[in-house]
Amino acid sequence: MADERRSAVGAAGDGPSGRSDAMSDAFHQLLAASPLPMWVYDLETLRFLEVNDAAVTHYGYRRADFLAMSITEIRPEEDLDRLHAAVAGHWEATQYSGAWRHRRSDGTILEVEVVSHRLEWEGRPAVLVVARDLTDTRRLEAELKHRTHYDAPTGLANATLFADKVAAALARPAPDGAALGVVLVGLCALDAVVSTAGDPAAHAMVSATGERLAACCEGRALPAHLGGGRFAVLVEAPEPEIMGLAGSVVAALSPPVAVTGWGELKCVPAVGIALAPASARDAADLIRDATSAMHHAAQRGGGHFVVFNAELRAAAVEAFETERALEAAIGLGELRLDYQPIVDLQSGETIGCESLVRWERPAVGLVGPDRFVPLAERSDLIVRLGAWVIEHALAEASTWPARVGARPRVSVNLSARQLGDSRLVARVAEACAAFGLPPSAVCAELTESAFVATDDYAAYRTLAGLRELGVEVAIDDFGTGYSSLAYVKHLPVDVVKIDRGFVAGLGTIAADTLLVDAVVRVAHGLDMRVVAEGVETEVQLDVLRGLGCDAAQGYLLAPPAPPERLGEMIDNARRVVAGARRDS
């Protein structure tokens, strides 16, 4: 090796240009020290005249082999014509640069960027070449491109690539008889998995779903992961086949997934389909319509698919209009609050009053919260609506001691999304200060699913902030969500409100009585109080009292009514409890 090297350098003799020994020495030093592969080739014979160490290392040919080859031998066959043309160009141009493919001794092909310079070498026309290997750069580029187009947890196309593919498919004519379908898949209750089993379990769920979806689509459709529990499929096929695919997606994603440490976890898939040209004009429309159909499927519990159609579009448009009208309604004073007493089952006294929002919509009439609160919850509108409710409920409650001679706690319903409002605690504190109401006279009611969402740290801090302020926290609609009795003890709550669905069966359905009994025992063991909702009959009231339930709310005691009727409601509730006690 050392000998070869000496002879090669020696052969260079009086240097590349023959101009001076000093130049020649400098040139050879540069060549030897260059980290980039360099060589000199004979412009007539195309043989290598000189190569540096970097070329030997990088290309894998021994120096002697290099010097026995011509530059055509390190090219793929199909590049030779282009090579000869470039070489011919060197008779005219002294400088050249371009991208080439070179072959290493092991046969692998390198992508290189080459700069070449025409010179004279030992009296012969020659070319000096510097090559920079682009393989790593290209690989990084490709990786980057992959990362911008594919999703790490599942390896599927991501939302960006999916939208591009849908757009591309829409731009070309569909094959005869085929429709273009976007199938949107949502995993219901993935949030619940996150909050009960944690992120790693949810990731396992998502990646298993990705695999199942990919298997389902293999060879006939493009699966994608849009993020979180949302997946999508792009399919071009006759409509019945698209429906068939959607059906098999539902079937494939329905079985539970085995997750280490958690046994089997289940997230029911909800699937929505939008078809082009029937449904949509562009990719964004198609994906939006499919999403909207998916939400419809999800609202009915999932486990099936819904095809987007004119009816759904009309419902979506109506929802959109209602949402806008509601936004205006807050400022126009069209909202009002009714109140419903929460009554102590021993004393018959009203210990709390729940505020329930209503919308007096001009030309429509009185609209109940079930018809507009869920709409507001889709956006930050709920935060504005919630702020309105807090302010008005607290203002009203501050008048009670003077007006009705009692100070029941005022309950305000909060949506999960309001817990994400960083101003919530301050809002409540400010309203309390403004109306001279102690925070302990306020109760925040949150549904079980809102508690499930408190896995989110910001939401948890808000909840903790409310309790630090002195606000009482109640879990609403208990029994309808995912939480088990065991879960309750981890919740930062003071009150458990049993959903009216269980109260309805008291005294008639044994299981309901057992459940309420168990909730009361567990809650009391944890120092929490229990309120039964939706009490409509004296039988229910009796059973509740027998089970040691603390308080009740319902039409039997007093239906929700405007605050002017509060005194009347309190009296009525007292009478009902006294009457029931006398009877039993």
Residues that bind Ca ion (CB under 5 A): 413, 445, 476-477, 533
Q: Which does 500 bind (CB under 5 to 8 A by kind): ligand C2E, Ca ion, none?
A: ligand C2E
Shortest distance (Å) from residue 477 CB to Ca ion: 4
Which residue in 192, 235, 356, 397 binds ligand C2E (CB under 6 A)?
356
Structure-token pair, residue 53:
């160490």
Shortest distance (Å) from residue 291 CB to Ca ion: 29
Q: Which is nearer to ligand C2E, 226 or 383 (CB)?
A: 383
**Amino acid symbol at 439:** P
Nearest Cα neighbor of 264 from 214, 199, 185, 204 is: 204
Shortest distance (Å) from residue 267 CB to ligand C2E: 24
Rg (Cα) of the chain, in Å, rounded? 38
Which residue in 52, 195, 398, 413 binds ligand C2E (CB under 6 A)?
413
Which residue in 40, 201, 389, 580 binds ligand C2E (CB under 6 A)?
389
Residue pair 441/353 in contact by the 8 Å Cβ criterion: no
Side-chain half-sphere CA neighbours of 49 within 13 A:
26
| Cis amide linkage into residue 362, ω under 30° from 0 | no
- DSSP-derived letter for residue 74 is G
Q: Does 368 bind ligand C2E (CB under 6 A)?
A: yes
Q: What whole-number distance in Å separates Cα of residue 319 and Cα of residue 338?
A: 24
Nearest Cα neighbor of 361 from 397, 317, 330, 390 is: 330
Q: Does 154 bind ligand C2E (CB under 6 A)?
A: no
Strand 529-532 versus strand 551-552 pairing type: parallel
Which parts of 539-568 interact with ligand C2E (CB under 6 A)? 553-555, 560
In the three-class reduction of DSSP (H, G, I as helix; E, B as strand; rest coil), residue 165 is classed as helix
In the three-class reduction of DSSP (H, G, I as helix; E, B as strand; rest coil), residue 463 is classed as helix
Q: Which is nearer to ligand C2E, 151 or 476 (CB)?
A: 476
Which residue carries 């009309």 as its tokens? Answer: 314
Contact segment (CB under 6 A) with ligand C2E among 138-146, 221-229, 411-419, 481-489 equals: 411-419
Q: Does 259 bind ligand C2E (CB under 6 A)?
A: no
Q: Which does 91 bind (CB under 5 to 8 A by kind): Ca ion, ligand C2E, none?
A: none
Residue 491 CB coordination number (10 Å)? 19
Q: Does 500 bind ligand C2E (CB under 6 A)?
A: yes
Which residue in 18, 198, 244, 369 binds ligand C2E (CB under 6 A)?
369
Binding mask 429-448 for ligand C2E (x = CB under 6 A): ----------------x---
Residue pair 448/482 in contact by the 8 Å Cβ criterion: yes
Which parts of 314-343 interact with ligand C2E (CB under 6 A)? 340
Interface residues with ligand C2E (CB under 6 A) are 340, 356-357, 368-370, 373, 389, 413-415, 445, 476-477, 500, 533-536, 553-555, 560
